[in-house]
Amino acid sequence: MSEAPVSISTRDGVRTITVQRPEKLNALNRQTLEALDAAFAEAAAAGDVRVVILTGAGAKAFVAGADIAEMNGLSAVQGRDFSLLGQRLMRRIERMPRPVIAMVNGFALGGGLELAMACHLRIAADSAKLGQPEINLGLIPGFGGTQRLLRLAGRAATLELCLLGAPIDATRAQQLGIVNRVVAAADLEAETLKIATQLAKAAPLALRGMLDAVNVGGECGIEEGLEYESAQFGLMFSTQDMREGTRAFLERRAPEFQNC
Q: Write down the pLDDT at residue 64.
A: 95
Q: Is 61 within 8 Å of 25 (Cβ atoms)? A: yes
Rounded Cα gap, residues 208 and 113, in angstroms = 24
Q: Is 93 within 8 Å of 40 (Cβ atoms)? A: yes
Q: Is 172 within 8 Å of 106 (Cβ atoms)? A: no
Strands 129-131 and 168-169: antiparallel
Query: From the candidates 114, 224, 227, 251, which is the catalytic residue?
Result: 114
Residue 134 a catalytic site member: yes
CATH of domain 6-200: 3.90.226.10
The 3-state secondary structure of the chain, one letter per residue? CCCCCEEEEEECCEEEEEECCHHHCCCECHHHHHHHHHHHHHHHHCCCCCEEEEEECCCCEEECCECHHHHCCCCHHHHHHHHHHHHHHHHHHHCCCCCEEEEECCEEECHHHHHHHHCCEEEEECCCEEECCHHHHCCCCCCCHHHHHHHHHCHHHHHHHHHHCCCEEHHHHHHCCCCCEEECHHHHHHHHHHHHHHHHCCCHHHHHHHHHHHHHHCCCCHHHHHHHHHHHHHHHCCCHHHHHHHHHHHCCCCCCCCCC
Q: Write down the pLDDT at residue 1.
A: 39
User: Which parts of the chain have pLDDT scores under 50?
Assistant: 1
Q: Write down the pLDDT at residue 3.
A: 81
CA dist list (Å): 50 to 28, 202, 239: 26, 9, 17
Q: Is 140 within 8 Å of 146 (Cβ atoms)? A: yes
Query: From the candidates 70, 134, 224, 244, which is the catalytic residue?
Result: 134
Picking from 108, 67, 106, 105, the residue whose alpha carbon sits closest to that of residue 86 is 67
Model confidence over 142-171: pLDDT tens digits?
Answer: 999 999 999 999 999 999 999 999 999 999
Residue 251 a catalytic site member: no
Tell the CATH topology of 204-250. Answer: Lyase 2-enoyl-coa Hydratase; Chain  A, domain 2 (1.10.12)
Rounded Cα gap, residues 256 and 23, in angstroms = 43
Q: Write down the pLDDT at residue 99.
A: 98
Q: What is the pTM of this model?
A: 0.95
Q: Where are the domains of the chain?
A: 6-200, 204-250
Q: Is 74 within 8 Å of 86 (Cβ atoms)? A: no
Q: In what order do the strands lie in the sheet with 129-131?
A: 61-63, 107-109, 129-131, 168-169
